[in-house]
A and B are shown apart, each in its own frame.
Chain A
Amino acid sequence: MAQTGHLMQAPRAAAPLFSPVTWLRIAIIAVVVALWETAAYGAQLLGHIDASFAALSDIMSKVTPSLLTIGRSLFELLAHADLKWPVGLGGWQRDLWVPAFYWHLYVTIAEVVMAMIIGGLSGLLVGLALGANPFLSRAFERYLYYLGPTPKIVFFPIMIMWFGVGPESKVAMGTLSCFFPIVLSVAAGMRQIESVLIRVGRSFRLSTRQMVTKIYLPAMREPIVNGIRLGMGVALIGTLLAETKLSNRGIGFMIIDAYNTFDMPRMYAALAVLFVLAIGANALVGRASRAR
């Protein structure tokens, strides 16, 4: 009997737990983990097969430690309190026992933030000047454009001579690294501002400061954020590489110290945390550039 008055709904198939893409991702991760563990186990086994392989086995098991060992190192890195960190505010002083990793992370973050403040602000000012003045842009921008993609780490000996071996030289490396992408992004962004916005500002007789804060900066938000995103990446690399070369603090120092003591699980753990933090920070700034 035909039913009228309402549509018959076909029974829905239950939605799959995971999409094929998720399954593939899980499969890729499983294969990588299996290969890694096989290499780790194989390296240990090699030493038992023949004594002549002992040295090779030792190196191989250091290069590919079991993921469980790396996980243990990661836990120790993040949770084992082994550093007395004196903190104080006004008259209140206290010694905190924390994992040394957080202190090194604090040092690196402070260096990168300082570098971003100095390099970002100077890049913003120079970029605004170059973007607003075509003569200045034609006179100087080519030098910045060509100096941008040069390896900045070779300037580190100069930074050491100028600023010493402490955190200042690392801040200077970060500053030098992030200055170029920011200045070029800001200058290019300024040239792309719609002329109607500038004419509106002038018709309202805005002062230079008002033009910068009310017209230029809001219209250039996206190129500025993109410049900061690029600058943050290279500032982080510049600072960390400088820390690996000559320092006694910071995440870069932790990584090279783990290498020098051949503590590979600790090095993998530090690298993993660093990559997660760098990718996360990049994604956050990227999201800020897209947010309306």
Chain B
Amino acid sequence: MNKRFAHQFLPFATGLGCLLALFVLIEVLVRNGFINSFIVPLPSDIVFSFQRIVTEEQVLRRFMLTFGEAMAATAMLSVAGISLGVLLHRVRIVRLATETWIAALASAPLVLMYPLFLVIFGRSAWTIIMIAFVSALPPVILKTLEGLSGARPVLINVGRSFKLTPSQLYWKILFPAALPTIFVGVRLGMIVALINIVGVEFLINFGGLGQLVNELSERYDLPGTYAAICFVVLVSVLFFLGTERIERWLRPGT
């Protein structure tokens, strides 16, 4: 019991305690004028602003809008990314010709193309969904390819010993074996997509949670802006935790 206390609870309490102490310190410094309250609002005001932004700024509707965009981008990512990954795995010459290009695209700041998407799709949800889709596609393709290429040879040999047809071998052995790695790619894609969705919403002042931060900051509602940013961070963390839990369920032992 003492060992568990020292190993788990004490560090957790220290971390949480330090965070709370930091908030209290900022509150004291702002109240006493050491920090300008026109730059950093009182932490207590930020906490009270949560209720206001939930009731007055329609946070639930905005959250659903951002979540819907993220899900639409994820659905497109899953279909296109996995299909292209399978294609690259099955047709070796296509893989050899394009894999380095896709890897290069994964490191390019594709989100900077959002003005181009604004011209094509206008200031609409499609701009946000498409930029999230394009930015997050390369990691999904590469992870699908990695999963299919990394399937254990013994599984493939078992399939061959049962005289499975190439199609059966693919869908009964190779694809299920690669599924956990493919999900890692989809999860990575979902996270990149969510980051880009909120980012582009903020930049073009359209849509859900990103727009909320932009609107509040343009109104110079300081506690509201900070509270909205905390809300966005909270949603991102919950999204990350949720997908991480699914990944652990798919890949026990990782």
Q: A interface vs B, CB < 8 Å? A: 20-21, 24-25, 28, 59, 62-63, 135-136, 138-140, 142-143, 146-147, 149-151, 153-158, 160-162, 233, 236-237, 240-241, 244-245, 252, 255-256, 258-259, 262, 264, 267-268, 271, 274-275, 278-279, 282-283
Q: Are A240 and B203 in contact, with the CB atoms below 8 A?
A: no
The distance from the CB of B253 to the nearest CB of chain A, in whole angstroms, is 18
Q: Are B236 and A233 in contact, with the CB atoms below 8 A?
A: no
Mark interface residues in B4-18 (1 if CB within 8 Å of A CB, else 0): 000110111011001
Mark interface residues in B104-142 (1 if CB within 8 Å of A CB, else 0): 100111011111101110000000000000000000000
Cα(A259)–Cα(B113), bound, Å: 10
Q: What are the nearest 7 A-B pairs in CB distance?
A: A157-B217, A259-B115, A138-B11, A139-B15, A282-B107, A150-B236, A139-B11
A to B contact number (C-beta, < 8 Å): 134
Would you mind naming 6 contact pairs between A and B with Cβ atoms under 8 Å apart? A28-B98, A62-B119, A138-B15, A147-B233, A252-B112, A262-B119
Chain B residue at minimal CB-CB distance from A64: B120
Most buried by A among B14, B98, B120, B202: B202
Cα(A268)–Cα(B113), bound, Å: 9
Question: What residues of B have a CB within 8 angstroms of the CB of A275 in the complex?
Answer: 108-109
Q: Which of A25, A63, A151, A241 is B232 in contact with, Cβ under 8 Å?
A: A151
Mark interface residues in B32-53 (1 if CB within 8 Å of A CB, else 0): 0000000100000000000000
The distance from the CB of B120 to the nearest CB of chain A, in whole angstroms, is 6
Kindly state whether residue B225 has any CB partner on chain A within 8 Å: yes
Residue total for B at the interface (Cβ-Cβ under 8 A): 51
Mark interface residues in B209-251 (1 if CB within 8 Å of A CB, else 0): 0100110010000100110110011001100110000000000
Q: Which of B81-89, B151-159, B162-170, B193-201 contacts A (4 or more CB under 8 A)?
A: B193-201
Chain B residue at minimal CB-CB distance from A259: B115
Cα(A138)–Cα(B15), bound, Å: 8
Most buried by A among B39, B94, B112, B213: B112
Q: Which of B10, B108, B199 is A154 in contact with, Cβ under 8 Å?
A: B199
Question: What residues of A have a CB within 8 angstroms of the CB of B94 in the complex?
Answer: 24
Q: Are A271 and B15 in contact, with the CB atoms below 8 A?
A: no
Q: B interface vs A, CB < 8 Å? A: 7-8, 10-12, 14-15, 18-19, 39, 93-94, 96-98, 104, 107-109, 111-116, 118-120, 191, 194-196, 198-199, 202-203, 210, 213-214, 217, 222, 225-226, 228-229, 232-233, 236-237, 240-241
Chain A residue at minimal CB-CB distance from B199: A153
Cα(A51)–Cα(B240), bound, Å: 52
Q: Which of A146, A157, A160 is B237 in contact with, Cβ under 8 Å?
A: A146
Chain B residue at minimal CB-CB distance from A237: B109
Interface of A is mostly: helix
Question: What residues of B have a CB within 8 angstroms of the CB of A264 in the complex?
Answer: 116, 119
Cα(A147)–Cα(B116), bound, Å: 30
Query: Known interface pairs A162-B39, A255-B112. Does A24 touch B93 (Cβ–Cβ under 8 Å)?
Result: yes
Q: Which of B18, B119, B198 is A151 in contact with, Cβ under 8 Å?
A: B198
Query: Known interface pairs A21-B97, A154-B229, A259-B119. Does A278 touch B109 (Cβ–Cβ under 8 Å)?
Result: yes
Question: What residues of B have a CB within 8 angstroms of the CB of A262 in the complex?
Answer: 119
Q: Are B233 and A244 in contact, with the CB atoms below 8 A?
A: no
Most buried by A among B116, B194, B228: B116
Chain A residue at minimal CB-CB distance from B197: A151
Q: A259-B115, A279-B104 are in contact. List 15 more A-B contacts (CB 8 A).
A: A24-B94, A25-B98, A139-B11, A139-B15, A146-B241, A151-B196, A153-B202, A154-B229, A158-B226, A158-B229, A241-B199, A244-B115, A262-B119, A264-B119, A278-B107
Chain A residue at minimal CB-CB distance from B232: A154
The distance from the CB of B221 to the nearest CB of chain A, in whole angstroms, is 10
The distance from the CB of A256 to the nearest CB of chain B, in whole angstroms, is 6
Query: Known interface pairs A138-B12, A157-B217, A279-B107. Does A149 touch B191 (Cβ–Cβ under 8 Å)?
Result: yes
Question: What residues of A have a CB within 8 angstroms of the CB of B18 in the complex?
Answer: 139-140
Q: Are B199 and A151 in contact, with the CB atoms below 8 A?
A: yes
Question: What residues of B have a CB within 8 angstroms of the CB of A282 in the complex?
Answer: 107
Chain A residue at minimal CB-CB distance from B214: A157
Cα(A258)–Cα(B196), bound, Å: 21
Q: Are B107 and A150 in contact, with the CB atoms below 8 A?
A: no
